[in-house]
Amino acid sequence: MNLSKALKKKSKLVNQINKEFEKFQRNNSYLEGREPLVNPAEALEKWIGLTEELVDLKTRIQKANQGIYHKIFMLAETKSMISKLQGVNTKSGFVADLYGAGVDKNYVALVNEIDMMKMLESYEEQIETLQDEIDAYNLTTKI
């Protein structure tokens, strides 16, 4: 199985694990003489088995990802950088003081709005490239 399929399988396993635990939790305690629709012992056993399967799959995925960790981490950090940069004030130039003493204020920004847009565009292109490389790796790497 390739990494791409393994990641999809991981997601499905997580959903199955949550459903089985919910079945166990909902049916664990019941009135004597009124058997629950779902056998809690079976749900518990299945939940434990699926969890063990998930741990095994995650371990195999992590081992397969060793060759691309740098790109995975770079992708995450670049997304974080974009998020932070989008909140930076880029106001620059003269602004009339409408509420104060009538004194115009001159703002200076190290990175103005145009330069910020260029930076963000560059980082977004970097994210796209990294994501394409990661996707290609995931499709071609077997676990």
**pLDDT 10s digits, 1-58:** 999 999 999 999 999 999 999 999 999 999 999 999 999 999 999 999 999 999 999 9
- Choose among 88, 119, 120, 89: nearest CA to 107: 89
Q: Is 21 helix (H, G, I), strand (E, B) or coil?
A: helix
- Choose among 15, 12, 47, 13: nearest CA to 28: 47
Segment holding 75, helix H or strand E: helix 69-85
Segment holding 61, helix H or strand E: helix 40-65
Token pair 């880029």: residue: 90
Q: Is 37 helix (H, G, I), strand (E, B) or coil?
A: coil
**pLDDT 10s digits, 66-77:** 999 999 999 999
The encoded tokens of residue 2 equal 């390739």
